Structure 1
């Protein structure tokens, strides 16, 4: 395969052109792969081999993957081959990078490369996706594999969106409120205090306490802001800080613990169900499914359980019970599936149960976070009012009396 840069010009307006990069065995094949409806090939340029390193190898967005796998699954169900399905799906795509990626995969398949290898060579798909495609291909169930991938990625995207909404929006609101509070204490309350001092009025005890608190805020606010900025940066940059903060929150808040554990168990069981239902043996399926919770305290237990099951031959449910941190319901139903030869059905049932439970926990978590945000907003607004308006209300009658004297 060589990398070619193909320039396309529109038939009815040659001044309009497009440039795409195509991985193909020859110039003729590059021209054929790049050709689009309403365009003609104007120029084909072979790119040096080292320019491949400049091509983006980042994974595709989840939304693009959902549409891609749904489209491939529907065409497979219509008895369209993988090669033709990729060609049909790529035609008319607005993103030239994605179009080139799919054409490259098709070209590899046409030359006899296995489907999962053709996908893996693009370096845009995760290891779990490649494994499921391989399992589906080996079992002759690519349509089911693509459908399973689309469904799983959609659920992950939905939960990620809900979690981001539940955390990010209230966080931004709280940060704005903190800024408003600091501004009121540093500038507004100080102006009120100067106004009272200019008319030689001594503040009453409550106003004096408000002014003293304002003095304290004026001294410490730069240090507080620096600490807050450093904390936010560490959250984004350090996974260790995020992990410790999450563990602390889970130890103090039962709902958060249930939510996080439910998300992890749902991801693990759902991935294992996908793999096992598409022909991957249980030991490999459980080992690969453990990767979705890599970096969490549950990962080591899942890996250990898979290794013990594969090497000792004890039932998988018993191995999970000994080494993994799972709800008893999970190990119980997996045990039933092993004994009754219905493990795929039991895993599917567990997946649906945990997805429903996790969605309920997510809704409760969102409602509580929204209530906390509202309570903090009311508290800060009360502080702003007390600091800026209350001293004026309290001193107003005294100032009027002083003026009448």
Structure 2
């Protein structure tokens, strides 16, 4: 039985959302001049516009794409795109975890799309992406946060597609390279890979997506908080920081701080490298640990942000799902009590186990310090 480790992670926060803030973050880093003012005033609007500009620069978004800020985090951003853009043609939904299931439920039960094809897969596997039809709209998550799986590439998306691709990239943006020429509508949130505050989402729109907003109106009502139709205008103020509803200027300042840190880390290449370095530490530990394995057994589709682990080996083979969830819960409680890890339980619908955030705001030294604690907590939890 391993002895209790003597070195704890410097920061035990490994939550998959909201995620840990950047190294060295403190409230004093946030600007305050825009607080308490109208978001339509010149300085606050400039700060919102700066958030859009800096995000576009870090993500290396093409010059002919446009970015806007939405309410309600990534969920609000993606659902706004669904409500405003779908219905013109048939839709293919690719789903392989709880969040893909959410978009599928919206398409089926809320929008009640008549021409809908579903391609799904259980946790640990991807659906057959080759079935995507270029004549249809495509909905998918780039990185399935609950399942710990990502698409390996976008080769399955046609360069000559007629439909739009709508991609939920909230736990991929700022940690994975996204092929913008394959993506027409891309959503993400501030509280994922850069550790910003929650409630705000962002949409990246290709020229084809903006044309859809200009020319198409769906048959269902679109709530004002979801309405993106003004973004069909090339001169829309939405691309300069005008928002659908009142934004949090404090959250905006926090996001700006994260973006400035991202630039100091070398921009997107630096952020991607940090995330992969974190995953590499966890992979090295898992390779020599008999009681655990990745939900994503294929490294090519393994997430480098929301890394999901499940129990393995003869010691837990006879346990049912309820017993395995209880084991994982005991481990999480022990680790929290010891100040070694917080919020690492697997998503409720995922296989019983652990989920450890390895995004770019995490330090590899903290992942390395965490691993011996996982071994110790496993033995402690088993009694």
Query: Do both share a fold (TM > 0.5)?
Result: no
Larger proportion of strand: 2
Q: Which structure has the larger Rg over C-alpha atoms?
A: 1
Sort the TM-score into its range (normalised by shorter chain). under 0.3
**TM-score, structure 2 as length reference:** 0.27
